[in-house]
Amino acid sequence: MRQCYIAGNWKMNKTRAEAIDLARGLVTALKGGRHRYMIAPPFTSLDAVASVIRGTNIRLGAQNVACEESGAHTGEVSPLMLKDLGVRTVIIGHSERRHLYKEGDALINKKVRLALKHGFEVILCIGETLEEREAGKAQEICGSQTRLGLAGVTGDELDGVVIAYEPVWAIGTGKTATPEDAQGIHAFTRVTVAGLYGKAAAEKIIIQYGGSMKADNASALLAQPDIDGGLIGGAALTVDTFVPICLV
């Protein structure tokens, strides 16, 4: 049976002191929690937060990773650097990286394969825009992003992959897909994985929902058979809003 996995993506928020304070609050509040937990602070706070959560039930994640190990890549952070800080999980292909920073499927796939090579757990994000959904292309887009993102990933490596479905139109807008809408894409994504790796692998893979999950809708979303957790943005920025989701 798949274990529920709740991850917090802090995005470009929190100074070092603020990140330490939030991490300390989460360590206390989530001690003994029955789900899997991860938090992804900004790069500038990774080292500080690593010290706070070391030895706890909270994993340290990074919000992005470079597609190269080293070299002349100004402003990038390599997987070797992240590993040195104690990062265990990397988020790749988040909708903001895809749409604001124009990261395409080929680049995302390169990052996925490099991160897996270095032993990271990868959260691969997929999701359609409002225009794509209204045009009836949600499954087409999510299926394509899944297949292209996993290109070249072996069955053994798939054990290190989590997929996060993010309806782009529901991120930071206050809109949320209905539990049934979200379940439909999650189930379709599981079928897509089954076509690539077989039914057993598809039943095993964790698929998170990443579209404005909050305390008041988390229970209904997580009750769906193919929704295995959440990739939480805004609600992950305070103990009071994140912990109730984590303890559903």
Residue 206 CB partners (closer than 8 Å, separation 6+): 2, 3, 5, 162, 163, 228, 229
Query: Which residues form the catalytic set?
Result: 94, 166
Listed by start position, the domains of the chain span: 5-246
The whole-number pLDDT of residue 212 equals: 84
pLDDT confidence bin for 232, thresholds 50/70/90: very high
The whole-number pLDDT of residue 237 equals: 98
The whole-number pLDDT of residue 176 equals: 67
The whole-number pLDDT of residue 171 equals: 73
Looking at residues 130-152, what average pLDDT do you find?
96
Contacts of residues 203-206 at CB distance under 8 Å and 24 or more positions apart, as own/partner, are: 203/2, 204/2, 204/159, 205/2, 205/158, 205/161, 205/162, 205/163, 206/2, 206/3, 206/5, 206/162, 206/163
Q: Is the pLDDT of residue 55 over 90?
A: yes
Q: Is the pLDDT of residue 58 over 90?
A: yes
| Residue range 14-33, pLDDT digits in tens | 999 999 999 999 999 999 99
Structure tokens at 27: 């360590």
Q: What percent of the chain has pLDDT over 70?
A: 98
The whole-number pLDDT of residue 174 equals: 67
- Homologous superfamily of the 5-246 domain (CATH): Aldolase class I (3.20.20.70)
| Residue range 160-200, pLDDT digits in tens | 999 999 998 877 666 768 999 999 999 999 999 999 999 99
- Residue 18 CA neighbour count, 13 Å, CB half: 10
| CB contact at 8 A, 42 and 71 | no
The whole-number pLDDT of residue 219 equals: 97
Phi, psi of 48 (to 5 degrees): -65, -45
154 closest CA partner among 210, 201, 188, 222 = 201
Task: Give pTM, 2 decimals.
Answer: 0.97
For residue 72, the tally of other CB atoms under 10 A from its CB is: 6
| Residue range 193-224, pLDDT digits in tens | 999 999 999 999 999 999 889 999 999 999 99
